[in-house]
Amino acid sequence: MSDAVPISDPADARLDEFRDLSHADRRPDRPGGRGLVIAEGVVVVRRLVASPYSVRALLGVARRQAELAEDLADTAAPFYVVTAEMMAEVVGFHLNRGLLATADRVGFPPAANLLDSGRTVAVLEGVGDHENLGALFRNAAAFGIGAILLADGCADPLYRRSVRVSMGTVLGVPFAVLPGWPGAAMNLLRDKGFRTIALTPSGEVTLREEGPAGRVAFLLGSEGPGLTPAALRAANVRARIPMAAGVDSLNVATAAAVAFAALAD
């Protein structure tokens, strides 16, 4: 069971994993940092506890510790109890949720293995915005997408902001880097029986007309230019989402949600 450990000194070394998160060069979830997963808030921490990621420590106000007591019954990680004011001093900003947790990263199987099971996957190219990435994972979880594969130029899904925006669902959706993009990667998808559907405003058909069936891999591109020409050429189908006149595109996470929902129907 997670032990409540009251701490009154903000300089206590036991809090170092949570320290100065407002400074990009100090955040332990940044490249070059400690490579930790950081979860914020009760909902996200509960999903962290239930995930394959091993919780290292928790930091929060007494009310949050009491609220999570049952969830943490099988967790040995310490819960450092502090005041809201001290938590803000340690973290570097006021945290409305009053709760943080750190965990070690885990590795999912490589992309080829993830493609062996499941009917649908999402392949992301150049999605570099952490909030969009988190929203994509949340949408994937909502519509039962089997895995997310990260092609060239994608941000880290386990970055703190991605974890928060995903509401912790990024901790449950399998993901892996997809090597050899687009050539070898597309060959792998086809060898595994996936029909590749590139989402693009210039698509020759609409999602309604395509009516995806069987094993499908949705290709989603970067927030600005979208999928690269090479990726578009390599896809089996280039599909667009019907929109009202004068609207040329959707946010990448919104477009993914529309596509995922169409497939779920």
Q: With CA atoms as reference, report the closest residue to 179 among 140, 156, 149.
A: 149
Map residue 78 onto helix, strand or coil: coil
Please tell me the predicted confidence (pLDDT) of residue 96: 79
Higher per-residue pLDDT: 186 or 246: 186
Mean residue pLDDT of the chain comes to: 91
Fill in the DSSP letter of residue 41: S
Q: Over the stretch 218-254, which tens digit does the pLDDT of each residue have?
A: 999 998 899 999 999 999 999 999 888 888 889 999 9
Across the range 160-183, mean pLDDT stands at 95
* Spans of all domains in the chain: 4-103, 111-264
Please tell me the predicted confidence (pLDDT) of residue 232: 97
Q: Which amino acid is at 264?
A: A
Please name the residue that has the structure tokens 């559907």. Answer: 197
CATH topology of domain 4-103: 60s Ribosomal Protein L30; Chain: A; (3.30.1330)
User: How do 216-220 and 147-150 pair as beta strands?
Assistant: unpaired
Q: Where are the alpha helices (DSSP H) in 2-94?
A: 42-49, 62-67, 84-91
Which CATH number applies to 111-264: 3.40.1030.10, 3.40.1280.10, 3.40.50.720, 3.40.50.10490?
3.40.1280.10
Q: With CA atoms as reference, report the closest residue to 146 among 260, 223, 262, 265.
A: 260
Q: Say what percent of the chain tops pLDDT 70.
A: 93
Please tell me the predicted confidence (pLDDT) of residue 212: 57
The answer for 102, left when phi > 0, alpha when psi is -120 to 50, beta otherwise, is beta
Please tell me the predicted confidence (pLDDT) of residue 24: 61
Query: Is the CB of residue 124 less than 8 Å from the CB of residue 226?
Result: no
Q: Over the stretch 13-48, which tens digit does the pLDDT of each residue have?
A: 999 999 988 776 556 666 556 678 999 999 999 999
Higher per-residue pLDDT: 263 or 83: 83
- What is the reported pTM? 0.92
Strand 79-81's sheet: what is its strand order? 4-6, 79-81, 55-60, 99-103, 37-40
CA 162/CA 170 separation, integer angstroms:
8
CA 156/CA 167 separation, integer angstroms:
16
Fill in the DSSP letter of residue 222: B
Residues shown for the chain:
265
What are the φ/ψ torsions at residue 48 (nearest 5 degrees)?
-65, -45
Query: Is the CB of residue 39 less than 8 Å from the CB of residue 33?
Result: no
User: How do 205-206 and 175-177 pair as beta strands?
Assistant: unpaired
